Structure 1
Amino acid sequence: MNRLWIALISLLILAACSSEPRPIVLGQDACHHCKMTLMDPKFGAELVTDKGKIFIFDDVNCLMGYMDSEEGKSQTFKHVLVMDYLNPGTLIDANFAHYLKSPEFKTPMASNVVAFPEFGLLEEFKSKNGGVYLAWGELTTQFK
């Protein structure tokens, strides 16, 4: 019986120390940077530290603002994720996402930036709606 308890406690400790992302809970999660509650499944971002601490953001500029802050610069992130604009509620790797900036996008904190998982999808959307393509490096410098 003792072994069973030790195994269960070990599993719980390992689960608590997980450094994996989790789904954003709309209507409950608040942006770590601006404190607004996330409501729109097309916008959001998540940072997960190497130690498993999770930070949620409602817009790309809040994510960038935090990453550029002293607190953000002192962290090491295992995951940097952004919401896939075409698949609301789905987080994708921010480093490999493709970004489109356009006044057509009414984002929570007025960044006007959305993320796409594939460049072809961005190009298709851009041809119909306009906008400016941004790579991750351009995005990180634009919001400093």
Structure 2
Amino acid sequence: MKTLLYLFSLMLAIALLGGCQPEPKPIAYGAANCAHCNMTVADNRYGAELVNDKGKLYFFDSSECLMAYTIEHPEFGENAAFLMVTDFTRPNELIDARDAIFLQAKALPSPMGMYLTAVADKEVVAKMKQKHGGRLLTWNEAVTAVQKNERPD
């Protein structure tokens, strides 16, 4: 009987620990508030998300709000389980922010006015740059642009 109770307890502990893995969740557009600026996250082409190492979710109305948040709270960015941004070409689809390519173009205004648009596909973003102009940035370059408040001319 003791062995059975021990096995049951062990299985329960494994099940509970297995269910606590941090993971991104879909953004509730129109209901979630930005953790940085407190605006409602409304545009499904620009939302962003941070999942901390304990699984707590933080939503953002734009990639620049996510970047500003990680600048102001570096420990959140450094210890994040996930930093996610929405692929502009596939609304509602979150991609790893560190792998995204950011087009900063005056023709594509983002919610907070930094004109940063995240895209996963290099060929697609290259075509967007040809059409809209601007410059292509990596995650780190985009964070620096936010930190320096660099906007397109």
User: Structure 2 length normalisation: TM-score?
Assistant: 0.82
Contact 2:33 2:61 in 1 (8 A): yes
The answer on 1:46 being equivalent to 2:34 is no
Number of the residue aligned with 1:84: 87
The percentage of aligned residue pairs carrying the same residue is: 36
Q: How does 1:34-113 map to 2 (within 5 A)?
A: 34-69=37-72, 72-75=73-76, 76-113=79-116
Number of the residue aligned with 1:132: 135
CA RMSD, 1 decimal: 1.9
> Structure 1 regions of 5+ residues with no counterpart?
none
Runs of 4+ in 1 over 4 A off after TM superposition: 5-14
CA–CA separation in structure 2 for the residues paired with 1:47 and 1:84: 15
> Structure 2 regions of 5+ residues with no counterpart?
148-153
Partner-residue secondary structure (3-state), 1:143: helix
User: Structure 1 length normalisation: TM-score?
Assistant: 0.86
Contact 2:101 2:120 in 1 (8 A): yes
Contact 2:68 2:143 in 1 (8 A): no
Partner-residue secondary structure (3-state), 1:68: helix
Opposite residue 105 of structure 2, the aligned amino acid is: S
How far residue 46 of structure 1 moved from its aligned partner, in angstroms, is: 0.6
Contact 1:59 1:111 in 2 (8 A): no
How far residue 31 of structure 1 moved from its aligned partner, in angstroms, is: 0.3
How far residue 12 of structure 1 moved from its aligned partner, in angstroms, is: 5.8
CA–CA separation in structure 1 for the residues paired with 2:42 and 2:105: 21
